[in-house]
Amino acid sequence: MGNSFGNIYKFTVFGQSHAPAIGVTIEGLPAGEKIDMEAIQSFLDRRAPGGKYSTSRKEADKVEILAGFNSAGLSCGSPITAIIRNTDTRSKDYSYLENVPRPGHSDYPAMVKYGEGRDYFGGGQFSGRLTAPMCIAGSIALQMLEKMGIKITSHIVSIGGETDEEAMFALIEKVKDEGDSVGGIIECIAEGVPVGVGEGMFGGLENRIAQAAFGIPAVKGIEFGAGMAAGTMRGSENNDEFYMDGDKVKTRGNNHGGILGGMSSGMPIVFRVAIKPTPSIAIEQHSVDLSKGENTTLSVHGRHDPCIAPRALPCVESAMAVAIYDAILESM
Amino acid sequence: MGNSFGNIYKFTVFGQSHAPAIGVTIEGLPAGEKIDMEAIQSFLDRRAPGGKYSTSRKEADKVEILAGFNSAGLSCGSPITAIIRNTDTRSKDYSYLENVPRPGHSDYPAMVKYGEGRDYFGGGQFSGRLTAPMCIAGSIALQMLEKMGIKITSHIVSIGGETDEEAMFALIEKVKDEGDSVGGIIECIAEGVPVGVGEGMFGGLENRIAQAAFGIPAVKGIEFGAGMAAGTMRGSENNDEFYMDGDKVKTRGNNHGGILGGMSSGMPIVFRVAIKPTPSIAIEQHSVDLSKGENTTLSVHGRHDPCIAPRALPCVESAMAVAIYDAILESM
Amino acid sequence: MGNSFGNIYKFTVFGQSHAPAIGVTIEGLPAGEKIDMEAIQSFLDRRAPGGKYSTSRKEADKVEILAGFNSAGLSCGSPITAIIRNTDTRSKDYSYLENVPRPGHSDYPAMVKYGEGRDYFGGGQFSGRLTAPMCIAGSIALQMLEKMGIKITSHIVSIGGETDEEAMFALIEKVKDEGDSVGGIIECIAEGVPVGVGEGMFGGLENRIAQAAFGIPAVKGIEFGAGMAAGTMRGSENNDEFYMDGDKVKTRGNNHGGILGGMSSGMPIVFRVAIKPTPSIAIEQHSVDLSKGENTTLSVHGRHDPCIAPRALPCVESAMAVAIYDAILESM
Amino acid sequence: MGNSFGNIYKFTVFGQSHAPAIGVTIEGLPAGEKIDMEAIQSFLDRRAPGGKYSTSRKEADKVEILAGFNSAGLSCGSPITAIIRNTDTRSKDYSYLENVPRPGHSDYPAMVKYGEGRDYFGGGQFSGRLTAPMCIAGSIALQMLEKMGIKITSHIVSIGGETDEEAMFALIEKVKDEGDSVGGIIECIAEGVPVGVGEGMFGGLENRIAQAAFGIPAVKGIEFGAGMAAGTMRGSENNDEFYMDGDKVKTRGNNHGGILGGMSSGMPIVFRVAIKPTPSIAIEQHSVDLSKGENTTLSVHGRHDPCIAPRALPCVESAMAVAIYDAILESM
Residues 3-22 of D with CB under 8 A from C: 3-5, 7, 13
Q: Which residues in chain C belong to E strands, given as ranges? A: 4-5, 10-15, 21-27, 63-67, 80-85, 151-159, 184-191, 219-224, 242-245, 248-251, 259-260, 263-264, 269-275, 285-289, 294-298
Task: Write down the pLDDT at residue C90.
Answer: 57
Mutation target among C5, C9, C12 for the B interface, most CBs of B within 10 A: C12
Which of B297-306, C269-278, D81-90 is most confident?
A: C269-278
Confidence at residue A212, expressed as pLDDT on a 0 to 100 scale: 98
pTM of the model: 0.97
Distance, in Å, from the CA atom of B75 to the CA atom of C114, rounded to the nearest integer, reads 9
In Å, how far from its chain's centre is CA C296? Answer: 33
Q: What does the DSSP 8-state code read for residue D164?
A: S
| pLDDT (0 to 100) of residue A52 | 53
Per-residue model confidence as pLDDT tens digits over C7-60: 999 999 999 999 999 999 999 999 999 999 999 999 999 988 765 555 555 556
Which of chain B's residues have a Cβ under 8 Å away from the Cβ of C86?
A: none
- Which residues in A76-183 belong to E strands, given as ranges? 80-85, 151-159
Model confidence pLDDT, tens digit, residues D185-194: 999 999 999 9
Tens-place pLDDT, residues A272-306: 999 999 999 999 999 999 999 999 999 887 778 89
Q: Is the pLDDT of residue A190 over 80?
A: yes
**H/E stretch holding D283:** none
Percentage of chain B beyond pLDDT 70 is 94
Which range is most confident: A81-90, A140-149, A296-305? A140-149
With residue A167 as reference, give the H or E element that holds it.
Answer: helix A165-177
Residue % of chain C over a pLDDT of 90: 87
Task: Enumerate the residues of chain A whose CB falls inside 8 A of the CB of residue B241.
Answer: 103, 285-287
C-beta of residue C285 within 8 angstroms of C-beta of residue C107: no
A200 to chain C, any CB pair closer than 8 A? The answer is yes
Answer yes or no: is pLDDT of A234 > 60: yes
In words, the CATH class of domain D4-331 is alpha beta
Tell if the CB–CB gap between D244 and C293 is shorter than 8 Å: yes
Question: Would you say residue B223 has pLDDT above 90?
Answer: yes
Residue D90 has pLDDT above 60, yes or no: no
User: D329 CB contacts (<8 Å, ≥6 apart)?
Assistant: D8, D9, D28
* pLDDT at D120 (0 to 100): 86
> How large is the average pLDDT for residues B55-80?
86
Chain D residue closest in CA terms to A65: D20
Question: How far does the CA of residue B157 sit from the closest CA of chain A (Å)?
Answer: 10
- What pLDDT is recorded for position B287? 97
Instruction: Determine the residue of chain B that is closest to A263 in CA distance.
Output: B109
Cβ–Cβ contact D77 with B under 8 A: yes
Distance, in angstroms, between C148 CA and closest chain A CA? 17
Is D236's CB within 8 Å of C294's CB?
no
Min mean pLDDT across B51-55, B179-183, C74-78, D65-69 is at: B51-55
Nearest CB to C200: which of A78, A200, A332? A78
Other Cβ atoms less than 10 A from the Cβ of A332: the count is 9
How many H-runs (helices) and E-runs (strands) does chain B carry?
7, 15
For residue C92, the model assigns a pLDDT of: 60
Is residue D14 within 8 A of residue A80, CB to CB? The reply is: yes
Residue B328 to chain D, least CA–CA distance (Å): 13
Report CB contact under 8 Å: B119, C76. Answer: yes
**D203 touching chain B per CB within 8 A:** no
Mean pLDDT of A245-268: 97
Q: Does C202 touch chain D (CB under 8 A)?
A: yes
Mutation target for A interface from D4, D8, D25, D69: give the one with most A CBs within 10 A. D25
* Alpha-carbon gap, residue C323 to C142, rounded angstroms: 11
Cβ of B239 within 8 Å of Cβ of A106? The answer is: no
Q: Sort out which chain A residues have CB atoms less than 8 A from D23's CB and list them.
A: 66-67, 81
pLDDT average, residue stretch B179-187: 97
**Cβ separation D7–C1 shorter than 8 A:** yes
pLDDT attached to residue A214: 98
Is A89 a residue whose pLDDT tops 80? no
What DSSP assignment string belongs to B108-137?
HHHHHHHGGG---GGGGGGSGGGHHHHHHH
* Cβ of residue C248 closer than 8 Å to a chain D Cβ: no
Whether residue D36 has pLDDT greater than 80: yes
Give chain D positions within 8 Å (CB) of A74. Answer: 116-117
Chain A touching partners, 3 or more CB pairs below 8 A: B, C, D
Distance from CA of B87 to the nearest CA of C (A): 13
Q: Which pLDDT does position D24 carry in this prediction?
A: 98
**Residue B187 in contact with partner chain A when CB distance is under 8 A:** no
Chain D 131-150, residues with CB within 8 Å of chain C CB atoms: 134
Q: Which of B1, B20, B120 sits opposite C67 (nearest CB)?
A: B20
- Secondary structure (DSSP) of C60-106: ---EEEEESB-TTSBB-SS-EEEEEE-----GGGGGGGSSSPPTTSS
Residues in chain A within 8 Å Cβ distance of D94: none
Specify which residues C289 forms β-bridges with: C294
Which residue among D101, D175, D266 sits closest to C242, beta carbon to beta carbon? D101
H or E stretch including A264? Answer: strand A263-264
Residue-averaged pLDDT of chain D: 93
Percentage of chain C beyond pLDDT 70 is: 94
Q: Which of D175, D230, D235 is closest, CB to CB, to C220? A: D230
Rounded to an integer, the average pLDDT of A182-211 is 97
Q: Which residue has the higher pLDDT, A90 or C282?
A: C282
What residue ranges do the domains of chain C occupy? Answer: 4-331
How many residue contacts between B and D have a Cβ separation below 8 Å?
7
Q: Does D1 touch chain B (CB under 8 A)?
A: no
pLDDT at D52 over 80: no
Contact D15 A65 (CB under 8 A): no
pLDDT on residue D97? 76
CA distance B281 to chain A (A): 7
Burial class (CB in 10 A: 0-12, 13-18, 19+), C64: middle
Residue of chain A with shortest Cα separation from B161: A232
pLDDT > 60? residue B140 = yes
A79: nearest CA in chain C? C200
Chains that touch C (3 or more CB pairs under 8 A): A, B, D
Chain D touched by B161 (CB under 8 Å)? no
Helix D205-213, helix C205-213: angle, nearest 10: 170
Q: What is the pLDDT of residues B194-216, one digit of tens each?
A: 999 999 899 999 999 999 999 99
User: How sure is the predictor about A92, in pLDDT bands with cuts at 50, 70 and 90?
Assistant: low
Under a CB-based contact definition with an 8 Å cutoff, are residues A219 and A306 in contact?
no
- A78 neighbourhood in chain C, CB within 8 Å: 200
Residue B75 sits at the chain C interface (C-beta within 8 Å): yes
B39 touches chain A (CB under 8 A): no
Residue B56, classified by CB atoms within 10 Å of its CB into exposed (0-12), middle (13-18) or buried (19+), is exposed
Q: How do residues C83-115 score in pLDDT, each as one tens digit?
A: 999 986 655 666 677 899 999 999 999 999 999
> Which has the minimum average pLDDT: B85-89, C60-64, C284-288?
B85-89
Distances (CA, A) of D15 to B125, C197, C278, D124: 41, 20, 44, 8
Residue B121 has pLDDT above 70, yes or no: yes
Which of D17, D130, D201 to probe by mutation at the C interface, max C CB count within 10 Å? D201
Q: Coil, helix or strand for B42?
A: helix
The model's confidence at residue C304, banded by pLDDT at 50, 70 and 90, is confident
Element (H, E) at A247: none
Q: Which chains touch B (3 or more CB pairs under 8 A)?
A: A, C, D
What's chain B's average pLDDT?
93
B295-304 — which CB contacts under 8 Å span 24+ positions? Answer: B295/A243, B295/A244, B296/B100, B298/B96, B298/B100, B298/B102, B299/B179, B300/B102, B301/B93, B302/B93, B302/B94, B303/B49, B303/B55, B303/B56, B303/B57, B303/B93, B304/B55, B304/B181, B304/B278, B304/B280
**Beta carbons of A200 and C332 less than 8 Å apart:** no
Cα separations (Å) of C242 from A293, B187, D297?
A: 74, 67, 9
DSSP class of C153: E
Q: Do B3 and C31 touch (CB under 8 A)?
A: no
Phi, psi at residue A44, to the nearest 5°?
A: -65, -35
Contact A238 B110 (CB under 8 A): no
If pLDDT is split at 50, 70 and 90, which confidence band does D88 have?
Answer: low
Whether pLDDT at D3 is above 90? yes
Cβ <8 Å between A76 and D12? no
State the pLDDT at residue C14: 98
Chains A and D form CB pairs within 8 A to the count of 182
Q: Tens digit of pLDDT for each residue in C105-143?
A: 999 999 999 999 999 888 899 999 999 999 999 999 999
Per-residue pLDDT, A120: 85
